[in-house]
Structure formats: structure tokens, C-alpha cells
Amino acid sequence: MTLGTGQMLEIKFQNQFFEIPNEVTGNNGKKYSLTELIGEGGNGIVFKCEDSSSGNPYAVKILINSKKPRYQRFQREINIIKTVKHDHLITYETHGDIRISKINQNPKISSKTEKKKVLTLFIIMRIADSNLREYLSKMKFQICFEVYYSQFIGLTKALNELHCKKIIHRDIKPDNILISGDVWQISDFGLCSIVEGEEDNLTKTNEAVGPRYWMSPEAVGKVMGLDDEIGYCSDIFQLAAVFWFVVTKRPPIGILTTNDWLDDHSKPSIALCNLLIDCLQHHASRRPTTSSIFLDRIESIKYIEG
């Protein structure tokens, strides 16, 4: 895709057409040229882009559905990614706002179109090589313990960093674990909630909050109208579910036992299995109560073996 500065790109998003600028300017004063569409979510799209001066590649996430409360959620996502820093959290570059045009085709006059301009937001981040789901689908062999264990430590530390800032992620799944070089990073803070924050205003009653197939029991219960709270233990459940999937390549559905684990006959493997089973307990009170306890326990596995 090669376009001159100031030209527009036409995209289709959720069966509607939009025009977006092919170049955006961040709050850092730098210009970024959009080059390739690489992803689409429920509220926006992700393009590969380049710093117009250096040519360095980045990813830009653009909010397309900017209605309330999605606009406020995106603003909160920007604030989170700016302020929470860790090697295993996606890296913030800059952000800004742009005007996009929604194209409405007049059904009575097929040749006539109407364009409605909307002010929306974008975030520019470090670009990843792939996400964890894609990575695992391409792996022909089992990932060795030494490789996935170090990443599990890093991701648990990143989760603990979020929790220390009183942030609950709520959307941890393989698609939201990005791989940049040899580092796995938690990304997509669009569904995050802030403890003692404004979540009551941004989440509707009985709204499904969390990743399909990876939701904690209490998140499912909330959708069903139960008086369940999505707290820190829900994140622990989701991250443990991802870890289980990495090792076994199967989602942890049902009552789990060590017989469901890919046992390599080593203590670290069985110790990790037992920890994850604890984290995947149906009732939150039976899981590690904090991410720092989860981290201590996962770090102790290698310590015991050493």
C-alpha cells in the first residue's frame, strides 16, 4: 500500500465503510504512515505503520466505534498503557486523535454517498511479531519447560504490576499475549477496570466482560445475572488457563487432574500442573488470592528444583 501524504484509506468495519487518513500525527509530534491492516477487534482496527522520519515500524490501534462508553474505555486504555510499564506489557509509543469519515450510502440514489466526520482516538505501540495463538498453531513440537517457564514468570510479574496499580485486565487470552522478539507481552487494555474507579458507568448490567472461551466462572456468572464480582482472582484464572493451554495445547475445561497434564516426568512440570489446577478452581476463594502469591509460588518451582 503506497499512498501520498494526506490521502484517505477506505476500510470496511462491521459491514460499514469508513475513510481514515493514511498518516497520523502523535502527541509526540511525529508522523506515522499507515502501511498494512493487521487486525480487527470489536471496537477498532490495527494497522502496521512507520515513523515517517526514521522508517521504524509500529502498530497503530484506531478506535472506529467511538460511541459511549467505548470512547471512554479507549481513553482509559491510553492512560493505562502510558503509566504502567513492564517488559512483559506492550510498549507505548504515543497517542493522538484523528477525524475519520463514516460513509453512508443513500439507498434511494445509488450514486450518492454521505460522509459523516467523527473525531476519534488512536494509540501507537511497539509492533509484535505474532500473538500467542498464532505462535502455538505453528509450533510442530512441544515448547520446552525452560522456554515457557521464563515467559510465565515474566507474564505473572506483569500481571502483578497491573494489580499493584489496582487494574484488573479482564481480557487475558492467547490472542492478547503478543510476542515481540523473545518476549511475551500482555496487551489490549480495552476491557480493564480500575478498582474503586468508574466501572459502573462503563459496563452495562449483564454485559459479557471477558474473552469468549477464557472467561472465569465469576465472569460467566455475571453474564447470567448472578451477583458475582470480577476481581483480581479472575485475572489469575485467565492467565493460568493460558499457561495450561501453552503446555498442553488444550483449553482447561472441566474438572482437571494431573492425568490431563503433559507430564514430562519432572518435578517442575508436576509442580506447575498442581499450581495451575489451584489457580483454575471454580470458586475464587480456592485460588491464590493475589497475583503476588501466584508469582511467589511459580517462582518457587524452579527454586525447589535448583
Specify whether the CB–CB gap between 219 and 232 falls below 8 A: no
pLDDT exceeds cutoff 90 at 206: no
- Spell out the domains of the chain, with CATH numbers in brackets: 8-126 (3.30.200.20), 130-305 (1.10.510.10)
* Residue type (1 letter), 34: L
Residues 6 or more apart whose CB falls under 8 angstroms from that of 220 comprise none
Three-class DSSP category at 268: helix
At residue 67 the predicted structure's pLDDT band, cuts being 50, 70 and 90, is: confident
The pLDDT value given to residue 208: 52
Three-class DSSP category at 155: helix
The pLDDT value given to residue 230: 93
At residue 211 the predicted structure's pLDDT band, cuts being 50, 70 and 90, is: confident
Three-class DSSP category at 185: strand
At residue 302 the predicted structure's pLDDT band, cuts being 50, 70 and 90, is: confident
- Residue 301 backbone phi and psi in degrees, to 5: -60, -50
**CA dist list (Å): 303 to 105, 294, 299:** 64, 15, 7
Which is more confidently placed, 144 or 24?
A: 24
Distance CA 186, CA 171 (A): 10
Query: What do you get for the CA distance between the two ends of the chain, in Å?
Result: 52
Give the residue among 219, 188, 217, 226 at the shortest CA–CA distance from 92: 188
63-77: string of b/e by CB count within 10 Å (b at 16+)?
bbbbeebbbebbebb
The pLDDT of 263-267, averaged and rounded, is 57
Three-class DSSP category at 99: strand
At residue 3 the predicted structure's pLDDT band, cuts being 50, 70 and 90, is: very low
Q: What percent of the chain has pLDDT over 90?
A: 70
At residue 213 the predicted structure's pLDDT band, cuts being 50, 70 and 90, is: confident
The pLDDT value given to residue 115: 81
Which is more confidently placed, 177 or 304?
A: 177
C-alpha cell at 146: 525452560
Cβ neighbour number for residue 102 with a 10 Å cutoff = 16
Three-class DSSP category at 120: strand
On average, the pLDDT of the chain sits at 89
At residue 268 the predicted structure's pLDDT band, cuts being 50, 70 and 90, is: low
Helix and strand numbers (H, E) in the chain are 8, 13
One DSSP character per residue, 217-266 reads HHHHHHHTT------HHHHHHHHHHHHHHHHHSS---SS--GGGS---S-
Lowest mean pLDDT among 41-55, 118-132, 205-219, 240-254: 205-219
pLDDT exceeds cutoff 50 at 2: no
One DSSP character per residue, 39-96 reads EE-SSEEEEEEEETTT--EEEEEEE----TTHHHHHHHHHHHHHH---TTBPPEEEEE
The pLDDT of 62-86, averaged and rounded, is 93
In Å, the largest CA–CA distance within the chain is 75
Question: Could you report the per-residue pLDDT of 155-192, keeping only the tens digit for each?
Answer: 999 999 999 999 999 999 999 999 999 999 999 999 99
| Integer-rounded Cα radius of gyration of the chain | 21
The pLDDT value given to residue 291: 98
**CA dist list (Å): 40 to 107, 151, 253:** 27, 26, 27
pLDDT exceeds cutoff 60 at 131: yes
